[in-house]
Structure 1
Amino acid sequence: MSQRNKVSLMEIDNAQNQQQEEEDPFLGLIEYARSVLWPGEEEEGRDESGQDPNNTGSESRGPGWSWIASRILKTCIAYSSGVTVAILLSDLAQAWNEQHRVGAPKKRPEIVNQLKKHHRRTRLPNTVTIDSIYEKNFLSLTSVLETVVVDVYLLPGTNIYMLTLGDFWSSNTIDLYLHRRYYELVDPQNGILKKGREVFLTGCYLRTAREGCGSPRLLPTEYLVILLDEDHDAILLDFYSDSFSSISLDAFNNGVSYSFNARIESIGLLETQGEFDSIQRRQITLVDNDGVKMKFLLWGEQVLIANLFSIGSTLALDRPYIALETSDECCLEYGTATQLYLVPFIQQEEQVCVPLTQNRYQGSRLLSAVDPSQVPIVSQVTLPCDSQGSIDFSNYPFRPFIINLCDKMTGLSLYGVVIDIFHKENTPGVYSLKIEDTTGVITVKIHFADSWSLGRLGPGHVVYISGLTCSMTKQIRLEVLWSEKDAGASFVNLSCLPALLNSSCLHRSSCLSDLSNGASYMFLCRVWLDQIDSCFVNTRFAHALCGHFVNERPTGVFECSFCHIQCNAELVRTFHLKVTLADESTKVLAWCTGQTAIELLQISPNEFYELPEEEQIMYPSSLEGERFMVALVNCKRGHYESSDGITQETQASSWEITRALKWE
């Protein structure tokens, strides 16, 4: 085949892919929302080279593609009866304004404005603004406040210290009753807690304003961390010079106190201890300047302090409690005399070349192959990266594609269709998903905290996944991972989304004859039930967690054909339905199970099972001609060898009905 013919085939394939993207209402909705709410945000404030001359940082730009996608899906899940474009745009605008609120500069204290010029720190995940506290008159115990001390004063006639706090995103300030464990730090002569000092705090209770008088105040909290600067506070940091290897438990028990300076290497997951899981625990791993590691354990309500930490930051601990965790291993704990100081990790940034438009990028290599003089126009986006060089793509302005994946990428999102699902025995909570988009196929290894928690998922289903990480293995293979407990991790099955059929902005109607070209991931069709005489209705047991059928062993034990685990305590009766759908253009044989089959048959599996055999045989005939709006996916898309459990379901037909809605 000639080079020109190869290029022609590439042009046709690329055109089909581009048409597929343009016809997807969900993708179109994301682009429409961005163009309406944040017009020109990709190029605003950038010179010809794509640089941001003012170095304003990511907060001055609009949201990334994945933020918009995740927020739209979150709203769709909340409004299962359906959404409109107006609802989605309103929710997006409100959520973005709350997250990136900018107060009136005239009202913000001058000391905060001065510090803001040099503010390069990434906000912590649970951070709320002071303005939002005033608006909602509410503050969660797990919320984080990143604040600047505007004033320190004594309540008149008392010995109670108050801090007036501001933040970089609010025009309001709020007063905090200072906890007495910090009183020595506000000493006018030697205290470190002064005007202009930054502090993080959590575990705060809000004292709301009484009707007609006063203003909201924060009640005392023990969970306060004072921020230090490596340059301005170098002398103070030198004071915390003890090494972990110098710890003597006997000396500590005899009254010797220690002060450490160590980097936060990892922040463990929340654990529960005790006979009834009544005690919470969280482990922070610290590394001192000598490379020695030590555990810093938080217990009970103390686990809230971990909300103030970030990996890579330096933690200075003054007078921590030293305990013996095992017979020969010590650990640190947050004691009654412990003070914490933090040198926050400053997120490094790296410039990534990106297209000005996604469609232009998709054809960039093709364009250069046809005409080398046609160089694609690209810009640059500055993205944060950690100390290991991994780049965070959570605010990447464009949709990431499989072809773009490479080593050291975090915070990624993918939108595509499930080609296959694998689960190896003896690997509880670990599954492999093969996912396809218009640029290729990738296998994603997904980890659950306990067991499968995504509901029924099968080949052909359209999914959105966020919080992915990419890394290169020792065998030089790209590994894509998703963990249920990672920050920003979400998994949405759009094919089974309850709001799908009720929201005209999320779907585009097709005819059954359109199924033959297979261009789209998912089809929404108005149909009626036909040829009920050949309808197949069966009831089976399924695994309640994953929705797939189970097999009964000779011993009487039920085993999930998908998860490969015993599930006698998690059985539900479900339908396995094969039915002919018809519209004005053609007829199609399709199958379904679960809630979709209940919608079509208008009876529960248990009720159907209780019917006499004669009535079970006659029942489907009463449904002939009933009209529905259905979502259809190709469950045999591509060529693959599916797991036994999924093969049992899909062998009837290539088309699965994933959602159904009665249509009058």
Structure 2
Amino acid sequence: MGHSNGDSLISEEEQDPFLSFIDYARAVISPEQDEIDEENPSEATTELTGPGWGWIASRVLKTCTAYSSGVTAAILLSDLSQAWHEQNKPGVLKKKPEVIDQLNKRHRRRRLANTVTIDSIYEKNFLSMDSVLEAVVIKADLLPGTNIFMLTLGDFWSSNTIDLYLHRRYYELVETPNGILRKGREVLITGCYLRTAREGCGTPRLLPTEYLVILLDEDEEEDAIFIVAQLCSDTFSSVSLDDFNNGTSYSLYASRIESIGPLESELKFSTAHRRQITLVDADNVRLNFILWGDQVIVANLMSVGSMLGLERPYISSLEESAMEGKDEFCLEYGSATHLYIVPSTLQEETVCVSLSQNQCQGSKLLGSVGVSQVTLPRDAEGSIDFSNYPFRTNITDCRDKTTGISLYGVVTDIYCESNATGVVFSLKIEDTTGAIWARLHFNSHWYQNRFIHSKTSSKISIWMSSFFLWVMILRSLGRLGLGHVVYVSGLSCKSTKENFLEVLWHEKNEKATFINLSCLPAFLTSSCLHKISTLSQISKQRKPAINICRVKMDEIDQCHSIKTRLSHSVCGHFIDEDSPLHGGNLHCNFCRLTLNSNAGSEVVRTFHIMITLADEETTKLYAWCTGQSASAILQISPDEFCDLHEDDQLMYPSSLENEWFLVTLANSGGRSLSHEREATCWEITRALKI
């Protein structure tokens, strides 16, 4: 890795409007972060009360992706403030129930991803099915004159309470004098329907849901006795499918949840979603717990590293569950099953902040004095989670056993790993502090149900699977070229046996984001995120940047006029037309795929043009472009251009000269991902006529 000093980092921060806006937004959302211990600046440690750098960057870019016509600073700040407010809203309307205040003193677990507050339910008068309520039972009573139980729930972040009609499968837990569902019990709930108040009368209530998990605390004597008496009567090794079929019921306790994820093998004759939770008991015996269909939202209530108790799980044979593996059976969430969780406590670790971070960002984010340490959470595997790190993570900050890393830099190399399992790209990202290789793993399981088990011929089935897989990748990558500036979040780092730092990214990770900023149309129309540079300024530039310039078409290369070429519609890169493969097929060097030349949706015609650009200072720059940017400049589609008469095609470039455009320029170093040498290093990645 190459290194540069702190001055270059400061210069980059000041010159890049995108980076400046993120720091400005964080100061607006959490101004309290400016308060630092000025008496001991060398020992200053920040507690993460505001949003992290990566959280803001991801949110800004997702908003830009959603609003291609452009955004304003007011729109972005409003969106950021609302999202952060909803995620961290404190209750201020009235005093919380005493039982919640008592529990809050030992509340040391990480908040689940889909958690909503009771206050937000009242504000929106809406609750989605996959939302999670981390609630406390305030009271459990029978409705007068009925046999219907109603739970009154509160949470740690709200001032309001809300009532829930209890599902009858849980009545046995409240009917007995010592029933576990009583005042002070913490529960996790999902799959709720909200019954709104009618005509201004009454209050909103939650309708019964089957998806309720009861929280236990091993440090509480009563809960510890319950775990031993109720959940540890059986072990994983003692489970017998034959005994279960003969009427035996089991209660099991896993020492930890090892993993949560989708099944690798999909069902042949069903489109039902499934989730697989891998459980490990105290004897290190593993069992899989499977959730089907609507049940998959129960996985939102679980976290890796927590302990799971299952009372009366359904035992299913692998054949019955359409599972593959060496085990005879697996566990399922049956109609009589009760789930209990002992959540993993939030572990934290103090991380030293590098000098470069304080030099380039500390003064803007955390007051006028530096911060030497930041407290970050640590997951069950011992990796430090940088998702809420207040600073931008530079490449030199990547280290062993870290997750939630966000990187912002320029692509200097990329290749598809054709021999890898699944779809894997290796991407070289560079910033002002150095360069690093990251392996990007893209989803491939989603299309298998639709195509691999099709009744069509195997060749057609394989082609369709391949094509739709790459359509999925397009949504993640877009057209990606050398010199393009990208933002990647959800990276994890670990050292290999050879002491090499391996950087990994998995699209299925809920925190994973990959955005190509150079191809985002919103950047051209969002003045708060860019500044217009001159051609002379960017020609001297040696750092990753989104280069926006106001230029006119001085001349389109008359030697070759306007060329059209075949392109792979999924990745946007040129196809090698000079070396067709057997059977009339073509080859995409970027994707390493053989393409069917007769498939119109897979192989399309696109422009490839060379242009001389000029600006107000009469500085000139030679650039090339293809795809959407070329069509925007020529103001015609490739097919429409090919339909023109030959004389009209020759005359067409002259009609466009001296027209003004706002363009995004990327420095590709004179090489494309098709391994061709371009006549110029500058690529026009986006263009807008002005």
TM (norm. structure 1) is 0.91
The one of 164, 168, 187 equivalent to 1:176 is: 164
Q: Is the aligned partner of 1:527 residue 2:560? A: no
Match of 1:387 in 2: 380
Tell me the amino acid that sits aligned with residue 26 of structure 1.
Answer: F
Which secondary structure does the structure 2 equivalent of 1:163 belong to?
strand
Is contact 2:553–2:656 with CA below 8 Å preserved after alignment?
yes
Give the structure 2 partner of residue 576 of structure 1: 608
SS in 2 for 1:235: helix
**Preserved CA contact (<8 Å) 1:631 1:658:** yes
Shift of 1:180: 0.2
Shifted more, 71-80 versus 122-131: the winner is 71-80
Out of 414, 434, 458, the position equivalent to 2:407 is 414
Instruction: Flag the structure with more relative contact order, 1 or 2, with Cα contacts below 8 A and sequence separation at least 6.
Output: 2
Q: CA deviation at 1:534?
A: 4.7
Deviations 1:583-631 (A, max 9, x none): 2231111011111111100001111122222222211111011111111
Q: Is the counterpart of residue 313 in structure 1 residue 312 in structure 2? A: no
Supply the AA of the counterpart residue of 1:499.
A
**Deviation, structure 1 residue 341:** 0.5
* Alpha-carbon distance in 1 for matches of 2:273, 2:265: 5
Tell me if 1:237 matches 2:212: no
Give, in angstroms, the shift of residue 275 of structure 1: 4.0
Please name the residue that 1:288 is paired with.
Answer: 281
Superposed CA offset, 1:364-406 (max 9, x none): 9xxxxxxxxxxx9542211111232100000001111101111
Deviation digits for residues 267-287 of structure 1, max 9, x if unmatched?
122678444542221111000
CA distance in structure 2 between the partners assigned to 1:356 and 1:180 by the alignment: 59
Amino acid at match of 2:573: H
In the other structure, the counterpart of 1:4 is none
Contact 2:481 2:672 in 1 (8 A): no
* AA of the residue aligned to 1:651: E
Cα separation, 2, equivalents of 1:118 and 1:50: 31
Identity of aligned residues (%): 61
Deviations 1:180-223 (A, max 9, x none): 00000012412100011000011111111111211111111101
SS of match in other structure, 1:74: helix
From 420, 442, 465, the equivalent of 1:448 is 442
Is the 8 Å Cα contact of residues 304 and 380 (structure 2) preserved in structure 1? no
Offset, 1:479: 0.4
- Number of equivalent positions: 633
The equivalent residue for 1:370 is: none
When residues 199 and 398 of structure 1 are mapped into structure 2, their CA distance, relative to the original with a 3 A threshold, is: same
Contact conserved, 1:285 with 1:293, CA < 8 A, in 2? yes
* Aligned-residue offset at 1:355: 5.4
Is the Cα contact below 8 Å between 2:385 and 2:402 reproduced in 1? yes
CA gap 1:522/1:38 in 2 versus in 1, 3 angstroms: same
Could you report, residue by residue, the CA deviation over 1:539-566 in whole angstroms, capped at 9, with x for unpaired residues?
2222222111123524211322200113
1:223 maps to: 211
Q: Residue 27 of structure 1 aligns to a residue in which SS?
A: helix
Q: What are the equivalent positions in structure 2 for 1:83-102 lying under 5 Å apart?
A: 83-102=71-90
Following the alignment from structure 1 to structure 2, what is the Cα–Cα distance between the partners of residues 642 and 32?
Answer: 36
CA distance in 1, matches of 2:131, 2:3: 51
* Inter-CA distance 182–565: structure 2 relative to 1 (3 Å threshold): same
> Is the 1:461–1:494 Cα contact (8 Å) retained in structure 2?
yes
Q: Does the alignment pair 1:561 with 2:597?
A: no
TM-score, reference length from structure 2: 0.87
In structure 2, C-alpha distance between the alignment counterparts of 1:51 and 1:215, rounded to whole Å: 50
Which whole-Å CA distance do the structure 2 matches of 1:209 and 1:362 have between them?
48
Alignment check: 8 A CA contact 1:18 1:359 kept: no
Residue in structure 2 matched with residue 488 of structure 1 by the alignment:
511
Q: Superposed, which structure 2 residues align to 1:51-70 within 5 Å?
A: 58=48, 61-70=49-58
Structure 1 residue runs without a partner (length 5+): 1-8, 365-375
Structure 2 residue aligned with 1:657? 684
Q: In the superposition, relative to structure 1, how do residues 277 and 248 fare at CA in structure 2: closer, same or farther (>3 Å)?
A: closer
Cα offset, 1:334, TM superposition: 1.0
Instruction: Please give the alpha-carbon distance, in whole angstroms, between the structure 2 residues aligned to 1:394 and 1:21.
Output: 21
**Quick one: distance in 2 between partners of 1:589 and 1:304?**
54
- Residue matched to 1:205: 193
Report the CA distance shift for 1:139/1:492 in structure 2 as closer, same or farther (over 3 A). Answer: same
After superposition, the CA RMSD in angstroms is 2.5
Corresponding residue SS for 1:41: helix
Alpha-carbon distance in 2 for matches of 1:130, 1:272: 38
> Which residue in the other structure is 1:3 paired with?
none
Aligned to 1:371: none
Does structure 1 residue 620 correspond to structure 2 residue 661?
A: no
Change (3 A) 1:45 1:325: farther
The answer as to whether partners of 1:14 and 1:362 remain within 8 angstroms in 2 is no
Q: Secondary structure at the match of 2:26?
A: helix
Letter paired with 1:471:
K
Tell me which amino acid in the other structure corresponds to 2:667.
Answer: N
Query: Distance between the aligned counterparts of 1:563 and 1:543, measured in 2?
Result: 9
- What do the CA deviations read for 1:210-256 (whole angstroms, capped 9, x no partner)? 11211111111101000001122111111212111111222222212
- Report the Cα offset of residue 101 of structure 1: 0.4
Q: Structure 1 residues 409, 113: CA separation in 2 closer, same or farther (over 3 Å shift)?
A: same
1-structure distance, mates of 2:201, 2:248: 49
Amino acid at match of 2:592: H
> Do 2:72 and 2:527's aligned partners in 1 also have CA atoms closer than 8 Å?
yes
What is the CA-CA distance between 1:10 and the residue it aligns to?
Answer: 8.9
Residue 358 of structure 1, CA deviation: 2.7
Q: Is the contact between residue 361 and residue 391 of structure 2 (CA under 8 Å) also seen in structure 1? A: no
Alpha-carbon distance in structure 2 between the residues aligned to 1:535 and 1:86: 46
Partner of 2:64: 76
2:286 corresponds to which letter in structure 1?
K
1:265·1:312 contact (CA, 8 Å) conserved in 2?
Answer: yes
Which residue of the partner structure matches residue 668 of structure 2? 635
Deviates more, 1:558-567 or 1:502-511: 558-567
Question: CA shift at 1:47, angstroms?
Answer: 8.0
Q: Secondary structure at the match of 1:71?
A: helix
Confirm whether residue 586 of structure 1 aligns to residue 657 of structure 2: no
The residue type equivalent to 1:247 in the other structure is V
Deviation, structure 1 residue 43: 4.4
Equivalent residues of 1:185, 1:192 under 8 A apart: yes
Determine if contact 2:487/2:516 at 8 Å carries over to the other structure: yes
Aligned partner of residue 372 in structure 2, secondary structure: strand
Q: Which moved more, 1:537-546 or 1:176-185?
A: 537-546
Query: Residues 51 and 310 (structure 1 numbering): CA distance in 2 closer, same or farther, change over 3 Å?
Result: farther
